[in-house]
Amino acid sequence: MAEQVDGRQSRPNPETEVDDPRDFPPQEDGFQRLWTPQRMSYVLSNDKQTPPKSDECPFCIAPTKSDQDGLIVWRGTHVFVIMNLYPYNAGHVMVCPYRHISLLTDLSDDELFEFEKASTVAMKVMSVVSKPDGWNLGINQGDVAGAGIASHLHQHIVPRWNGDANFMPIVAQTRTMPILLSNQRDAYAPVFASLAKREGLTAAPAAGDSPTSFVED
């Protein structure tokens, strides 16, 4: 800090002077930003203020719809794969159990196997259909961890391409999505069905119908 001498401010004392961070340009921290301003409509919505009950949960409601209306890519015995309505990137899907449970540790052994197997199949499907350069996979457990719908477990699988974090979100607050969700679902679904069968996964008998209950007893 600068010292006062006879009411006048002297030169700064180098031993006590603290650098003002505002005097320096921002430093790179090594992180890449995947800007998703289109998700602000969800962040500002009231839909997530209270945990949804199973009969209000979008992940419980989606399997009761047709594959097209529910944006469901694949239905298994214990889990289903669905397009993300507020995607971080084009082709973003989620793997969800039918049961309305919140934690990974709540899954039964059979559910856990299919949950993880369906996630790996999703990556293979993306490799065939859209050929990404990488992926982000993640599960947010609880509101404090950033889960949008904390009461129903879901795993995000986000394809990534070199250069996908471009200037548009920064200068225009816009995320460019090169394909409609319905068209992306239509592209994924037949490939997923084929690869899932090859991987030994059992598909649900019919669209909109599952051999397991959607709601936890």
Residue set of the binding site for substrate = 84, 156
Active site positions, annotated = 154
Band of the pLDDT at 164, cuts 50, 70, 90? Answer: confident
> Apex CA 112: angle with CA 109 and CA 114, to 5°?
110
The answer to whether the beta carbons of residues 154 and 160 sit under 8 Å apart is: no
pLDDT value at 216 more than 50: no
Q: Classify residue 186: in a domain, yes or no.
A: yes
Quick check: is 40 in a domain?
no
Domain that holds residue 152: 67-209
Cα–Cα–Cα angle for 200, 69, 57, nearest 5°?
85
Q: What is the predicted pLDDT for the residue at 211?
A: 42
- The answer to whether position 102 is within a domain reads yes
The beta-carbon contacts of 161-166 under 8 Å, at least 24 apart in sequence, are 161/89, 161/132, 161/133, 161/134, 162/133, 164/34, 164/89, 165/32, 165/33, 165/34, 165/35
Amino acid, res. 105: T
First to last CA, the chain: 66
pTM here is 0.69
Confidence of residue 13 (pLDDT cuts 50, 70, 90): low
Is 131 domain-assigned? yes
Does 143 fall in a domain? yes
**Integer Cα distance of 205 and 81 in angstroms:** 15
Residue 26 has pLDDT above 80, yes or no: no
d(CA 45, CA 58): 14
In a domain, 51, yes or no: no
Residue 203 placed within a domain: yes
Number of compact structural domains in the chain: 1
The span from the CA of 59 to the CA of 149, in Å, is 9
d(CA 141, CA 139): 6
Instruction: Specify if 45 maps to a domain.
Output: no
The full DSSP string for 76-116 is: BSSEEEEE-SS-SSTT-EEEEESS----GGGS-HHHHHHHH
Binding-site residue set: 84, 156
Tell me, what's the pLDDT at 144?
Answer: 75
- The Cα 139–Cα 95 span in angstroms is 10
Residue with tokens 């209950």: 213
pLDDT digits (tens, 9 = 90+) for 167-198: 444 444 445 555 789 999 999 999 999 999 99
- What per-residue confidence (pLDDT) applies to 57? 93
CATH number (domain holding residue 165): 3.30.428.10
Q: What is the residue-wise DSSP string for 148-176? A: TTTTS--EEEEEE-TT-S-SHHHHHS---
Segment 56-74, tens digit of pLDDT: 899 999 999 999 999 999 9
pLDDT, the chain, mean = 78
How far is residue 72's CA from residue 75's CA, in Å, rounded to a whole number? Answer: 7
